[in-house]
């Protein structure tokens, strides 16, 4: 059921996706990897901050907030909408 | 049992942020701690004496980190410490890795990196009570068997598990217990060998395999630099070639380490950790639905911040007044004892007692603010506040966490700058420290009140007066935004750090922990900043007091021989002494600099005298105008005296010194200038003296420019 691969910043709130890859050389990528956001990890965008940025995501039972500029370094494959 | 050969053990405490690491440190070491900074970085260094099983040990609390990739100064200090590359610091004998039981796999990632450096390890499974409640069950004994190192269940907030931890650490040290490692694929081994050979060719001392893996996996590992890689040589070709070995074997170099370690950790935790079947909508999610709501969330945030701000004023205010009254009482009691030696009397009364009072007076605000900060952090709300506010601050190089320090600085920049510690990103922290003193603190209020009360309100009415007061408070904030932006654009010029913020579950705060942190902050402020503030007070006292030739008194008394009011004579003598003091001489010399802002030598002396503490302007003007020092901003005498003052020479001779543009220029100057020794001292302690001086210089220049512009435009438009 694979759809187009999109940036994590573009994943709408409430939707799940699976991480495909991270942008090489982006400073957020090693940190996200250390936190366990790996290729293959499932991730959900929980909410967008009231002012439009940052976003809050959930993966591995953990909640994390990150800016869209950093989320853009992560490519995800969205699951088909439930 | 102590052994004859026992030197103190060195035990390091590592862990992810928000794992209760510092609480555990406090529990284990009690009050036997030393706090300082690691040389050259603003990373806090905390040591404590610990006695596991009666043996002497030094426990070192390393900064919280998610990995040893060393992309932040905090992580770098942790890595350098653990590899023994930190100047003056021997490698630890063992490491306690504090692990949040609710997030065990992610937390063990750091543990496995630490273990890779060949250090004996103990896992402190902290907050296991919260994990149990969330339905996460961990078989500690089974986990310990899989990992090969002790796993101790702790609840640091209640002190549970401390005894077991002592035994486990001794076991780990004596048995050199190492955590089970990832079975590295053959390609990794080959890449490591290749690296080792390449490093040897450049004359780098042999490194442990764990250190070589750090160089292989991390973008630009600090290990390389600290191990003696020649700074002029570019390591990139060597690194790329080693990483190509990984790529050739189908391993992507960037995610390779994380993938391999997480896979390994997944195996070792598989049967020891049981996760809940189905996650139910937790309390945290329900609270978040309100607190991060686009309307309610922002509203509650605004209300909370208003409450914090009000409390700094309302709760701290009376205590500060009490301290001032107490200091005045001590001064009054001490003064007569030393009447025989006027210089000593003045040094003790004005310099020392006044200086100590000037330090103590900050304590109430610091305590109130840090009480709220501890509450916001311990409940987990701070992360939500930063989430709400980040957009507003992020674009100019600050971040969501800059809000609390900047708001607090409206009461006082000293606690505000201390509050900037909550910001993890070093660049955003430094920017916050540098712009916070621009916020209009409460010590500026007397200057505004005096100027507005004397020159604006009488001629323009209460409405304009109120608007001017509001504008004076807004000015700093309006200036801070472009200043922060330019600092990042032109001065700091490092790449924006990713802003990754864990949103921890809401927790019930513990009063004991909060009080502990208050005590820590208070002690630290008194010891570290307090001493500098006191020293500055004494130096400025001397500049105002000396020289003291007796002729000045004789001349003044003779001139006023007709007067039969002894206090008026005393005031005139004080004014005469001040007029020829070192500070006043400097004021006269510097006056031409301030002439474009419309300042005469008296205002200039007031400005100079106010550099250690801006509120001093009122007392200084009181002395210069011969009214005495016990004046306040509402003093009618001082207002009248200012209004009556005329230029004695020059092209404006006979005209009043103070006009509306001059009054506004004085206000703008005080609004923008860093006239606060305490703030400079705190900036130096939180960043370093270089940045403190930078802050001082840029704000003084900005203040001068603002005052000149105000005066020049003001005289043109307002006449």
Q: Does A72 touch chain B (CB under 8 A)?
A: no
Mutate to test the interface with A, among B244, B499, B504 (most CBs of A within 10 A): B499
DSSP 8-class letter at B151:
E
pLDDT, tens digit, 9 for 90 and up, residues B374-383: 888 888 888 8
The pLDDT of residue B2: 44
How far is residue B632's CA from residue B625's CA, in Å, rounded to a whole number?
13
Q: What is the dihedral of CA B426, B429, B433, B436, to 10 degrees?
A: 160
What is the pLDDT, as a whole number, of residue B630? 61
Across the interface, of A30, A36, A54, the residue whose CB is closest to B219 is: A30
CB contact at 8 A, A16 and A44:
yes
Quote the pLDDT of residue B626: 64
Beta strand B137-138 pairing with B273-274? antiparallel
* Helix axes of B616-624 and B601-609: crossing angle, nearest 10 degrees: 140
Q: How distant, in Å, are the alpha carbons of B65, B68, B73, B83 from that of B79?
A: 10, 6, 10, 6
Q: Do the chains contact at B106 and A28, CB–CB below 8 Å?
A: no
Backbone angles phi, psi at B533, to 5 degrees: -60, -45
Angstrom distance (rounded) from CA A27 to CA B411: 36
Is any Cβ of chain A less than 8 angstroms from the Cβ of B280? no
Give the minimum alpha-carbon distance from A18 to chain B in angstroms, rounded to a whole number: 15
Residue A58 banded pLDDT, cuts 50, 70, 90: very high
- Answer whether A30 sits within 8 Å of B502, measured CB to CB: no
Cβ pair B292:A31 closer than 8 A:
no
| Structure confidence at residue B373 (pLDDT) | 80
Strand ranges, E, within B457-572: 500-502
Q: Does A32 touch chain B (CB under 8 A)?
A: yes
Q: Are B11 and B96 in contact (CB under 8 A)?
A: yes
Closest residue to A66, CB basis, from B69, B297, B499: B499
Place of tokens 């005393």: B570
User: First-to-last CA distance in chain B?
Assistant: 86
Q: 0.95 cut: is pTM over it? A: no
Do the Cβ atoms of B82 and B14 come closer than 8 Å? yes
The whole-angstrom separation of Cα B212 and Cα B191 is 9
Record: contact B103-A34, CB cut-off 8 A: no
State whether B500 and A62 contact (CB < 8 Å): no
Low-confidence ranges of chain B (pLDDT < 70): 1-6, 31-44, 70, 278-281, 313, 493-496, 528-529, 626-636, 719
**Closest residue in A to B495 (Cα–Cα):** A27
With a CB-CB cutoff of 8 Å, which residues 650-709 of chain B face chain A?
none
Q: How far apart are CA B191 and CA B246, in angstroms?
A: 7
| Contacting residues of A for B497, CB less than 8 Å apart | 27
Q: Which residues of B touch A69 (CB under 8 A)?
A: 496
Residue B656's beta-bridge partner residues?
B646
Q: Where are the alpha helices (DSSP H) in B103-179?
A: 104-116, 128-133, 140-147, 162-175
Apex CA B466: angle with CA B460 and CA B468, to 5°?
75
The whole-angstrom distance between B103's CA and the closest CA on chain A is 7
* Per-residue confidence (pLDDT) for residue B4, from 0 to 100: 45
Determine the distance in angstroms separating the CA of A1 from the nearest CA of chain B, rounded to an integer: 24
Chain B contact set for A24 (CB, 8 A): 254
Residues B571/B626, Cβ–Cβ less than 8 Å? yes
The closest CB to that of A35, out of B106, B298, B387, belongs to B106
Which residues from B are below 8 Å from A56, CB to CB?
Answer: 292, 387, 503
Q: Which residue from B minimizes the CA distance to A23? A: B254
Look at residues B438, B448, B458 and name the one whose alpha carbon lies nearest to residue B673.
B438
The pLDDT assigned to B1 comes to 43
Percent of chain A past pLDDT 70, that is, above it, reads 94
Nearest residue of chain A to residue B296 (CA atoms): A50
Distance between CA B480 and CA B707 in Å, rounded?
17
* Residue B655, C-beta contacts closer than 8 angstroms, at least 6 positions apart: B646, B647
User: How many CB atoms lie under 10 A from the CB of residue B185?
Assistant: 15
Who contacts B211 (Cβ-Cβ below 8 Å, separation ≥6)?
B83, B117, B223, B227
Distance CA B69, CA B497 (A): 14
**pLDDT per residue over A3-44, tens digit each?**
589 999 999 999 999 999 999 888 889 989 999 999 999 999
- Mind listing the pLDDT tens digit for each residue in B461-510? 888 888 888 888 889 888 998 999 998 888 776 666 788 888 888 888 88
Q: How remote is the C-alpha of B270 from its chain's centroid?
A: 42
Distance, CA of B62 to chain centre: 18
Q: Which residues of A touch B383 (CB under 8 A)?
A: 65
- A4 to chain B, minimum CA–CA distance in Å? 22
Instruction: Give the chain A residue whose CA is nearest to the CA of B501.
Output: A65
B71/A contact by beta carbon, under 8 A:
yes
* Cβ-based contacts under 8 A for chains A and B: 117
Q: Which residue has the higher pLDDT, B276 or A79?
A: A79
């Amino acid at each position: 059921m694979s759809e187009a691969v999109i940036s994590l910043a573009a994943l709408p709130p409430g939707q799940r996706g699976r991480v495909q890859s991270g942008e090489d050389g982006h400073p957020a990528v090693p940190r996200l990897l250390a936190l366990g956001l790996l290729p293959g990890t499932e991730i959900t965008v929980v909410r967008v901050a009231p002012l439009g940025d940052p976003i809050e995501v959930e993966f591995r039972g953990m909640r994390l907030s990150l800016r869209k500029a950093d989320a853009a370094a992560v490519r995800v494959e969205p699951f088909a909408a439930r | 049992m102590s052994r004859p050969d026992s030197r103190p053990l060195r035990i390091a405490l590592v862990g992810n942020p928000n794992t209760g690491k510092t609480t555990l440190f406090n529990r284990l070491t009690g009050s036997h701690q030393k706090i300082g900074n690691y040389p050259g970085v603003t990373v806090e260094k905390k040591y404590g004496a610990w006695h596991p099983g009666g043996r002497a040990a030094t426990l070192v609390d390393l900064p919280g980190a998610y990995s040893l990739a060393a992309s932040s100064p905090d992580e770098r200090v942790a890595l350098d410490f653990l590899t023994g590359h930190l100047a003056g610091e021997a490698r630890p004998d063992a490491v306690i890795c504090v692990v949040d039981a609710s997030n065990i796999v992610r937390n063990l990632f750091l543990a496995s990196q630490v273990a890779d450096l060949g250090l004996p390890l103990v896992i402190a499974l902290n907050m296991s009570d919260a994990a149990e409640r969330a339905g996460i069950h961990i078989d500690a004994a089974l986990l310990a068997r899989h990992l090969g190192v002790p796993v101790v269940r702790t609840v640091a907030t209640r002190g549970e598990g401390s005894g077991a931890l002592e035994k486990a650490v001794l076991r780990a040290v004596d048995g050199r217990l190492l955590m089970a490692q990832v079975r590295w694929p053959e390609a990794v081994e080959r890449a490591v060998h290749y690296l080792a050979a390449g490093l040897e060719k450049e004359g780098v001392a042999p490194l442990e395999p764990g250190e070589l893996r750090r160089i292989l996996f991390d973008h630009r590992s600090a290990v390389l630099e600290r191990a003696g890689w020649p700074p002029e040589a570019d390591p990139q070709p060597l690194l790329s070639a080693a990483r190509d070995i990984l790529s050739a074997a189908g391993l992507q170099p960037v995610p390779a380490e994380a993938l391999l370690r997480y896979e390994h950790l997944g195996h070792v935790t598989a049967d020891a950790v049981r996760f809940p079947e189905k996650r139910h909508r937790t309390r945290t999610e329900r609270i978040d639905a309100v607190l991060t709501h686009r309307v309610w969330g922002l509203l509650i945030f605004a209300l909370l911040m208003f409450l914090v701000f009000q409390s700094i004023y309302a709760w701290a205010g009376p205590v500060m007044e009490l301290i001032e009254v107490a200091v005045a009482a001590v001064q009054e009691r001490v003064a007569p004892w030393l009447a025989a030696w006027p210089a000593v009397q003045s040094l003790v009364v004005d310099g020392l007692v006044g200086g100590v009072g000037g330090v103590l007076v900050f304590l109430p605000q610091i305590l109130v603010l840090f009480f709220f900060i501890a509450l916001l952090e311990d409940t987990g709300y701070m992360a939500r506040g930063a989430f709400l506010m980040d957009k507003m601050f992020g674009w100019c190089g600050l971040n969501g966490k800059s809000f609390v320090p900047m708001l607090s600085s409206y009461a006082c920049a000293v606690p505000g700058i201390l509050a900037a510690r909550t910001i993890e990103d070093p660049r955003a922290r430094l920017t916050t420290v540098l712009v916070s003193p621009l916020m209009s603190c409460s010590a500026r209020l007397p200057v505004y009140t005096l100027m507005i009360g004397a020159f604006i309100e009488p001629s323009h009415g209460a409405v304009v007066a109120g608007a001017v007061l509001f504008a004076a408070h807004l000015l700093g904030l309006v200036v801070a935004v472009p200043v922060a932006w330019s600092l990042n654009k032109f001065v700091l010029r490092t790449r924006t750090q990713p802003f990754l913020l864990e949103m921890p579950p809401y927790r019930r705060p513990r009063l004991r922990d909060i009080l502990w942190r208050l005590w820590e902050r208070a002690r630290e402020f008194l010891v570290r900043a307090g001493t500098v503030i006191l020293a500055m007070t004494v130096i400025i006292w001397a500049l105002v007091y000396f020289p003291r030739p007796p002729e000045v008194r004789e001349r003044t008394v003779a001139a006023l021989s007709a007067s039969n009011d002894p206090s008026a004579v005393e005031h005139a003598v004080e004014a005469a002494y001040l007029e020829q003091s070192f500070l006043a001489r400097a004021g006269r010399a510097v006056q031409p600099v301030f002439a474009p802002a419309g300042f005469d030598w008296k205002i200039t002396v007031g400005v100079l005298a106010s550099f250690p503490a801006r509120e001093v302007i009122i007392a200084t003007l009181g002395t210069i105008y011969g009214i005495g020092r016990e004046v306040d901003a509402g003093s009618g005498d001082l207002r009248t005296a200012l209004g009556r003052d005329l230029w004695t020479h020059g092209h404006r001779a006979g005209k009043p010194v103070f006009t509306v543009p001059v009054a506004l220029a004085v206000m703008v100057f005080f609004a923008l200038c860093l006239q606060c020794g305490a703030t400079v001292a705190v900036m130096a302690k939180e960043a370093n003296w270089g940045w403190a001086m930078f802050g001082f210089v840029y704000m003084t220049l900005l203040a001068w420019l603002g005052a000149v512009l105000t005066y020049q435009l003001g005289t043109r438009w307002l006449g």
